[in-house]
């Protein structure tokens, strides 16, 4: 049993605790975080998306540079621990890491403010290995609204997605970067699900039907995710699990059950959010505890197939489909080229 997890904020902890000075940290013995190498092994993690997150306070300031620094620390982390981590940028890489008994390490950028409203910057992020972008963190960008609009804390500035926001989605589809809808407003969820050519993800959101928190995904959206063959990776943060500051493993499993009931096991995954939140459930204190959650699902009569889907098959399906959309778009572009232009061999077109 090996798990693919879509959101982990260890890089943020590395920044805030150690200023990204990896020379001052040993991930084998670090004990002040939810995540370290022994815990990853105990948790049987096969793949992990590390979040290259920078706070909303950096928007309109130095978000881009700080994002590059977070991407850099993820690269360096993988270089420093080559026996344990394999830097990955594709579904095939994830499989390759599995054969080498290493954890595939991928990058997700958490918040559209990181691209500073620039499609060129988005493209360079893709080149640096970023394979999903959460459209917002907890702030509006100039082109998309965040979940706080649904609570009334933030005004809607874009009516969901602006025209430019739709261009961002289109470019992400073309590049093969997964669109992540954790943290966005409900209107944005619907707009993106309807317009995206590739399946989309919620990298760390849970079920609104179990805990009516605006960071969670309502049932009608779950059904739309199913229709569009996306994935919802369950967040373990207590406040999103029970809508209170306490939770336990069983209550997390309730989210899995609910999503399966409403939309089927084909859209579920493990989101975690370890090291991005301070309150995690009893029984799921850190990344080593995933097997306990799997055991609970099996105890609740999930089939092996359903469990395997949640563990990684669903994510891989989405990732492969996103890559296929990229390939298909490139073929379409090449088909429209003149023979001379087609002789261009580079893959950046």
Partner 1 sequence: MSPVRVLLFCFLCTSSCASELRERALRLMARDPLIDGHNDLALQLRILHNNKLSHIRLYNLSNVATDINRLKTGRVGAQVFAAYVMCTAQEKDAVRLTLEQIDVIQRMCTSYPDLELVTSAQGLEQSTKTACLISIEGGHSIDSSLATLRMFYQLGVRSMALTHTCNTPWAESSSNIYSFYPKKNQSLTSFGEAVVREMNRLGMIVDLSHSSWDTARSVLEISTAPVIFSHSSAFAVCQHNRNVPDWLLVMLKEKRGLIMVNMHSGFISCGEKGNISVVADHFEHIRKVAGFESIGIGGDYDGASKFPDGLEDVSKYPALIQELVRRNWTETELAAILRRNFLRVFKEVEKVRDRQSSQPPSEAEIPLADAANPCRLILTRPVSGSVFRDASSSNVNVLTCSVVSSVLLPFLLLLLLLLLPTAV
Member of 40, 64, 130, 168 binding partner 1 (CB under 8 A): 64
Question: Nearest approach, Cβ of 170 to partner 1 (angstroms)?
Answer: 14
CB atoms inside a 10 Å sphere around CB 331: 10
Nearer to partner 1, 335 or 347 (CB): 347
Give the list of residues 6+ apart from residue 47 with CB closer than 8 angstroms, or none.
3, 4, 5, 88, 94, 97, 98, 103, 104, 105, 106, 312, 315
Q: What 8-state DSSP symbol labels residue 289?
A: G
Question: Would you give the distance in Å from CA 54 to the centre of its chain?
Answer: 15
Could you tell me the end-to-end alpha-carbon distance of the chain, in angstroms, rounded to an integer? 39
- Does residue 68 touch partner 1 according to CB under 8 A? yes
Integer CA distances (angstroms), 347 to 229, 326, 337, in order: 27, 11, 14
- Binding characters for partner 1, 269-288, by CB under 8 A (x = yes): -------xxx----------
Q: Which residues are catalytic?
A: 7, 9, 110, 137, 183, 204, 273
The stretch near partner 1 (CB under 8 A) out of 116-124, 256-264, 303-311, 312-320 is 116-124
- Binding characters for partner 1, 17-46, by CB under 8 A (x = yes): --xxxxx-----------------------
Q: Rule CB under 8 A: which of 237-276 touch partner 1?
A: 276
> Using CA atoms, how far apart are residues 208 and 102, in angstroms rounded to an integer?
34
Phi, psi of 277 (to 5 degrees): -140, 160
Nearer to partner 1, 62 or 229 (CB): 62
Nearer to partner 1, 64 or 200 (CB): 64
Question: Nearest approach, Cβ of 116 to partner 1 (angstroms)?
Answer: 5
- Does residue 154 touch partner 1 according to CB under 8 A? no
Integer CA distances (angstroms), 314 to 27, 133, 256, 266, 325, in order: 29, 18, 14, 6, 17
Size of the site for partner 1 (CB under 8 A): 47
> Using CA atoms, how far apart are residues 232 and 200, in angstroms rounded to an integer?
9
Question: Nearest approach, Cβ of 75 to partner 1 (angstroms)?
Answer: 8
- Binding characters for partner 1, 80-109, by CB under 8 A (x = yes): x-----------------------------
Q: Give yes or no for a contact between 203 and 108, defined as CB atoms under 8 angstroms apart.
A: yes
3-state secondary structure 31-95: CCCCCCHHHHHHCCEEEEEEEECCCHHHCCCCHHHHHHHHHHHHHHHHHHCCCCEEECCCHHHHH
The stretch near partner 1 (CB under 8 A) out of 40-48, 191-199, 311-319, 335-343 is 335-343
Member of 15, 102, 131, 258 binding partner 1 (CB under 8 A): 15
Q: If you search the block for the tokens 């050519």, which residue do you land on?
A: 197
Q: Which residues bind partner 1 (CB under 8 A)?
A: 15-16, 19-23, 55, 57-62, 64-66, 68-69, 71-73, 75-76, 79-80, 116, 118, 120-121, 123-124, 127-128, 276-278, 340-349
């Amino acid at each position: 049993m090996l798990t693919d997890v879509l959101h982990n904020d260890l890089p943020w902890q590395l920044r805030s605790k150690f200023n990204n000075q990896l020379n001052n940290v040993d991930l084998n013995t670090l004990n002040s975080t939810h995540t370290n190498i022994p815990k990853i092994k105990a948790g049987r993690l096969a793949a992990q998306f590390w979040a290259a997150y920078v706070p909303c306070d950096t928007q309109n300031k130095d978000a881009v540079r700080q994002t590059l620094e977070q991407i850099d620390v993820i690269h360096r982390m993988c270089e420093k621990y080559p026996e344990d981590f394999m830097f990955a940028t594709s579904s095939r890489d994830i499989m390759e890491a599995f054969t080498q008994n290493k954890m595939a390490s991928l990058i997700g950028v958490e918040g559209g403010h990181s691209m500073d409203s620039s499609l060129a910057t988005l493209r360079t992020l893709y080149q640096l290995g970023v394979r999903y972008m959460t459209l917002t963190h907890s702030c509006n960008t100039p082109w998309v609204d965040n979940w706080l609009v649904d609570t009334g804390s933030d005004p809607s500035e874009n009516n969901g997605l602006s025209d430019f926001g739709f261009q961002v989605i289109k470019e992400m589809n073309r590049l093969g970067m997964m669109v992540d809808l954790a943290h966005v407003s409900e209107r944005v969820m619907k707009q993106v699900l309807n317009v995206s050519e590739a399946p989309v993800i919620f990298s760390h959101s849970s079920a609104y039907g179990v805990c009516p928190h605006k960071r969670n995904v309502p049932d009608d959206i779950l059904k739309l995710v199913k229709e569009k063959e996306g994935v919802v990776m369950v967040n373990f943060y207590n406040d999103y699990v029970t809508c209170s500051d306490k939770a336990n493993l069983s209550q997390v499993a309730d989210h899995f059950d609910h999503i399966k009931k409403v939309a089927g096991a084909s859209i579920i995954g493990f989101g975690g959010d370890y090291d991005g939140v301070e309150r995690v459930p009893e029984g799921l204190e850190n990344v080593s505890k995933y097997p306990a959650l799997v055991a609970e699902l099996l105890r609740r009569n999930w089939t092996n197939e359903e469990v395997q889907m949640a563990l990684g098959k669903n994510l891989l399906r989405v990732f492969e489909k996103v890559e296929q959309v990229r390939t298909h778009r490139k073929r379409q572009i090449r088909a429209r080229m003149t023979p001379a232009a087609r002789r261009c061999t580079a893959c950046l077109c």
